[in-house]
């Protein structure tokens, strides 16, 4: 007989009501629901699905926890036999007629096409009853769910401690790197501070443009004399014969060859000049 496929929790979804177990046979009105972590998945399962997800934790015949479970719901130690079909569910030798050919209830119902449930749904129009067997199923399921959540909490605590240790190591390493960076940047900071405190030399002013040479103004005396020289001389009628005589004498003197003047000529020159001056004054 082939064993039934393994059951996996669906986990439900926000607002989901009912058991989140795979192929649950307890109906949608199954109560109560237990918080269980199965293979890393948190889900809400009915008591029957909690037992089906932990096949080797209890005796499938007497529904008592096997050691090392707690004393209140633990069965007395004794030999157990595994299911001859699936090999997952176990039972005490004293609880089954033939330990060798023992078949668990799950495999027995799967052989006839039914889904087994430790808490079957109530018949139409009837309510569930709480008898000794149902109470034992509820107690074992609650114990298994508690152990599952306790293991999950311990794993989460261990993971948190590991993360805290890694964070402390990372913080220490980051502080060491920061100190090394500060020590490496300290000389540069000191040099920049010295440069900032040093007086800044004034910027060199551009050289002034070369002075333009000044034009020399001609002296007024020379201008006056030039105007006076260029001004035509006005002569009176009495002055014109004397001036003509002086001009003729000058022309004659320039046309004559140079020779040593005689004492008489030297004496006559002042006389001529004096005569010209008198003529000018008399005119």
In tens, the pLDDT along 62-100 reads 888 887 765 555 666 778 889 989 889 999 888 888 888
Looking at residue 6, its pLDDT comes to: 46
pLDDT tier at 270, thresholds 50, 70, 90 = low
Mean local confidence (pLDDT), 202-225: 64
Q: What is the dihedral of CA 238, 240, 245, 250, to 10 degrees?
A: 140
Tokens 């913080």 -> residue = 171
pLDDT in tens, 92-141: 888 888 888 899 998 998 888 888 888 877 766 677 778 888 888 998 99
Say which residues have a Cβ less than 8 Å from residue 39's Cβ, sequence separation at least 6. 8
Tokens 């918080």 -> residue = 35
Looking at residue 272, its pLDDT comes to: 61
pLDDT in tens, 189-208: 888 888 888 766 666 667 77
**5-10-15 Cα angle (round to 5):** 155
Say which residues have a Cβ less than 8 Å from residue 53's Cβ, sequence separation at least 6. 7, 9, 21, 36, 38, 45
Looking at residue 149, its pLDDT comes to: 92
Q: Where are the domains of the chain?
A: 33-157
Sign of CA pseudo-dihedral 86, 89, 94, 96: negative
d(CA 245, CA 251): 10
Looking at residue 11, its pLDDT comes to: 46
Q: Which of 130, 102, 105, 107 has the alpha carbon at shortest distance from 118?
A: 105
d(CA 57, CA 89): 8
CA distances from 144 to 52, 55, 107, 140 (A): 11, 11, 22, 6
Contact between 21 and 9 under an 8 Å Cβ cutoff? The reply is yes
Tokens 């176990």 -> residue = 90
């Amino acid at each position: 007989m082939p064993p039934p496929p393994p059951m996996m929790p669906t986990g439900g979804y926000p607002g989901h009501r009912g058991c989140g177990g795979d192929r649950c046979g307890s109906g949608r009105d199954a109560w109560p629901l237990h918080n269980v972590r199965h293979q890393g998945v948190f889900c809400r399962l009915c008591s029957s699905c909690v037992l089906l997800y932990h096949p080797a934790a209890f005796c499938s015949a007497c529904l008592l926890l096997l050691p090392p479970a707690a004393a209140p719901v633990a069965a007395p130690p004794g030999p157990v036999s595994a299911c001859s079909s699936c090999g997952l569910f176990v039972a005490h030798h004293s609880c089954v007629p033939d330990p060798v050919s023992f078949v668990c209830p799950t495999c027995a119902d799967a052989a006839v096409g039914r889904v087994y449930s430790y808490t079957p749904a109530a018949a139409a129009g009837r309510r569930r009853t709480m008898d000794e067997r149902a109470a034992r199923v509820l107690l074992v399921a609650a114990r298994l769910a508690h152990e599952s959540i306790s293991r999950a909490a311990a794993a989460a605590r261990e993971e948190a401690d590991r993360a805290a240790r890694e964070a402390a190591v990372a913080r220490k390493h980051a502080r060491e790197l920061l100190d090394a960076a500060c020590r490496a940047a300290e000389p540069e900071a000191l040099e920049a501070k010295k440069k900032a405190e040093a007086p800044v030399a004034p910027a060199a002013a551009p050289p002034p443009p070369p002075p333009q040479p000044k034009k020399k103004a001609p002296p007024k005396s020379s201008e006056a004399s030039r105007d006076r020289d260029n001004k035509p001389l006005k002569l009176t009628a009495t002055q014109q014969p004397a001036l003509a005589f002086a001009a003729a004498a000058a022309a004659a003197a320039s046309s004559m060859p140079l020779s040593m003047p005689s004492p008489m000529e030297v004496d006559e020159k002042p006389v001529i000049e004096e005569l010209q001056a008198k003529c000018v004054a008399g005119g």
